[in-house]
Amino acid sequence: MEPGQIRRGQKITFLMAILRLLLELTLLGSAWKPLACLDSLLAAAISPQIPDNGSVPLIVDVHVFVSNVFDVDILQYTVSSSMLLKLSWFDPHLSWLENTDPRNFITLPSNALWTPDLTIQEALWVEWREHNPRLRVSREGFVELYTALTTKTNCDFELLHFPSDKSDCSISFYAFSNTAKELKFHPHAVNEIVSVKREYMVRGLKAQVPERQLVPCFQVTLSLENTAVKTTMALLVPGVAILLADICGSLLPLKATERISYKVTLLLSYLVFHSSLVKALPSSSSCSPLLISYFTLLLILLSLSTMETVLMYGLMARGDFSPNPAPREEGLDTANPGPRSEEPQRRDEEPRKTWAEAMDHIFLLTYVAIIGCSQIIFVIVWVWWECKSDPPPAEDIPHGGRPEF
């Protein structure tokens, strides 16, 4: 055999071996591909488990730093706030010796270890500042997690004494991925609000663990107080000013036509003010603001005053222009009846005018007394009356109840 043919045969054999090796690698990769996908799915499905603390639940200390309450909407019954959560717990399995690693602490991503998965019950929306915060693990095994959030939550405002109302708004954090036997929170609340240029101020802040809960949870309660002096003045001063203006208008002469136009204009102005006020004040199924009743009473008083003016003026006008001929006397000079006929008519009309003005004067005194008594009664009701809101549907058996697991 020639040397050229031998070399050609060796090349063909070498190429065939390479092709066979590539084919075997391809078949082997296709066989391992489903197993690799299965491993990735298992790794995604299995998350880090809560540290085993034996027969007692894992204690997680929670410090809630409330930094801002920036939006209080009484019409929508919502509160927007910003806060920082510091969660810390002890995991002895994460500790290490100094000779192994001289560092006092290390920083890890939050998805590398177990962290409480928190959900806010009253939240309409929640924005977490960091989707993957960092964990700080000390050499002794203490783990710390810092996370900030902004949330808009529902709040049941007590608006009976609006605009000097006080309400307690709760923000409840639940860890639905764990049970009460595995996890327990020890919450603490810290007020870090430094700005005072706001309508509602946080006068109290506390954190507690609700009783008889099925899952681990803790609750932060904000005690809000309305400090809007401008709102109080803008609501009460116009009402009192309109009442005083109405009393001053009643001092005008009854026969003056300007008195009716003055009263009607005042009533129409107050109707516009009352309609805008009712839209501005919140409505509630129970314990509505007392100011709604107060301004409705003012509307009724102004309406009565206007109707009294129109009625008295109508009686006087009817007495002035209705025919009331005087009886003829014997021996009168029929040729010159003018001076003699006006005197009896004037004597007949004078008692009617005096009677109408006397009734108007009596009404004015009664009206002033009613206004004074109504103001005193309103102050007494404002100070002493306490309204108890209706129970929520979850606590009323016909509408619902607590779920039983």
Using DSSP, state whether 361 is helix, strand or coil.
Answer: helix
Distance between CA atoms of 252 and 266, rounded to whole angstroms?
A: 14
Residue 37 has what pLDDT? Answer: 37
Distance between CA atoms of 317 and 271, rounded to whole angstroms?
A: 28
Cα-only R_g, the chain: 42
Does residue 163 have a cis peptide bond before it, meaning omega lies within 30 degrees of 0? Answer: yes
Compute CA distances 78 → 68, 150, 167, 189, whole Å.
15, 13, 12, 21
Q: Structure pTM?
A: 0.70
Distance between CA atoms of 293 and 295, rounded to whole angstroms?
A: 6
Per-residue pLDDT of the chain (405 residues; tens, 9 = 90+): 555 555 666 666 766 777 676 666 565 454 444 434 334 333 434 568 888 888 899 999 999 999 999 889 988 899 999 999 999 999 998 888 888 888 899 998 888 899 999 999 999 999 998 877 889 999 999 999 999 999 999 998 888 888 888 999 999 999 999 998 999 999 999 999 887 777 888 989 999 998 877 899 999 999 999 887 777 777 888 888 888 999 999 888 888 888 999 999 999 989 988 888 887 777 776 788 888 889 999 999 999 999 999 998 888 877 654 444 444 444 444 455 545 555 555 555 455 556 878 888 999 999 999 999 999 999 999 889 888 777 666 665 554 455 454
Residue 195 exposed, middle or buried by CB count within 10 Å (0-12, 13-18, 19+): exposed
Domains of the chain: 59-227 (2.70.170.10), 231-325+339-384 (1.20.58.390)
For the range 318-324, what are the long-range contacts, defined as Cβ-Cβ under 8 Å and sequence gap of 24 or more?
Answer: 319/349, 319/352, 319/353, 319/356, 320/349, 324/348, 324/349
Residue 324 near residue 349 (C-beta atoms within 8 A): yes
Distance between CA atoms of 72 and 154, rounded to whole angstroms?
A: 10
Q: With b meaning 16 or more CB within 10 Å and e meaning fewer, what string describes 333-359?
A: eeeeeeeeeeeeeeeeeeebeeebeee
Q: What is the pLDDT of residues 121-144, one digit of tens each?
A: 999 999 998 877 889 999 999 999
Using DSSP, state whether 119 is helix, strand or coil.
Answer: strand
